Structure 1
Amino acid sequence: MENANYFDTLTISAGETNEGFYEKALAKGINLRNIGSSRLGITLDETTTAEDIQILWEVFSKNNELPSLEKLDSDFATGKKNSAIPQNLVRNSDFLTHPVFHQHQSETAMLRYLRYLQDKDIALDKSMIPLGSCTMKLNATSEMVPVSWPEFSNIHPFAPVNQTEGYVELISDLENYLKKITGFDAVSMQPNSGAQGEYAGLLAIHNYHKSRGEGQGMSA
């Protein structure tokens, strides 16, 4: 392992066995980052489970001698093993010191406080919805349900192309449907942000006029 200090991302020098580890992990449903030069990257987050860790141990273990995760947790909790975070970066000051973290002692009080915060937001049933809230204005609740299905929502942004063929087909089909309906020459599903989408639209309009030789001095 190359990292002396680390938090959630590791770089491993696998040498000549790099490809073997990569393929072994892939067969177990885990994508490692193939950095090149016989190096692999592993990134963990709050969605990583103990089962995921166990599978990673199996991938890199040569003789199936796997450590006990329960013992590792216990060793870290009791100080028998030290964190990989440098001592000068370890937090020693108090946290959650704001009064709001201590004044709501009952479930009812907490719910009332959350409702108080909720009422500060602009909502569809209270006022006009401003720019940048397209999902609130245009997407029905029923449309949001399938978006949360794991078949759609759990793909990693950097997943290999051969694992995203279904997404590409869906996007391509939708683009073609919209082209036929609107008569446009092309339709893009990017960017997803409303503000960036407006900028992309302005660029399209700008380049359209530019292609026709129409500059800023054109008459309306």
Structure 2
Amino acid sequence: MLRDDVYRRLRDAIVDGTLEPGEQLRDQELAVWLGVSRTPVREALLRLQQAGLVAARPGRSTTVASLDARAVRDAQSVVASLHELAVREAVGLLTDDDLDRMRAANTRFDAALRSGDPDAALEADDELHAVPVVAAGNAAVAAVLEQYTPVLRRVERLRFASLSGRGSVALHARLIDLCAQGDTEAAAKVSFETWQTLEPLLDALTNDAEHLAAQGD
């Protein structure tokens, strides 16, 4: 659907930094840029606001939301828990083809990190984690992840721009092996752990926010 395509294009532009934090978003300008009418743009901006990627002030301006440490931590808690649940429900349902897709995605993820391509790394990471989510078939889990994962992806992009994300390659491999072995609880635990690797960046965000607040006092 057109509205979903517009939403994804604006979401991706925010995640990859094309639309920068604090940048003003005018629906007419965005409509021209995307080659659509203003209606799907307005609908997309509302969805992006609900996801925490856009900040709207009534009667004033709509802007790209800044990276807020509290909002990112909240999203991390939700995303980690739901991926853990999805893996728990998916183990036993995953086919050999599913596992092969996860392995292939992890190989691409590793290559993207080595070449310093954060966008390709994010795409491969999304593909890998999507396999158990789809296999689980839990529509509620998929819907909530669709809303809150982009909040984390803005932070992850910073990590994947360097080799600091290399630890995730081994975690992914461990996750796939445990799924193949049918070890539900261990696989679910590792899935949760993969989303905890953001902690150093979240700590840095928190420290930056506290530093700015102290300067303003």
TM-score range (shorter-chain normalised) is under 0.3
Q: TM-score, normalised by structure 2?
A: 0.21
Q: TM-score, normalised by structure 1?
A: 0.20
The higher-RCO structure (CA 8 Å, 6+ apart) is 2
Q: Computing the radius of gyration over CA atoms, which structure comes out larger, 1 or 2?
A: 1
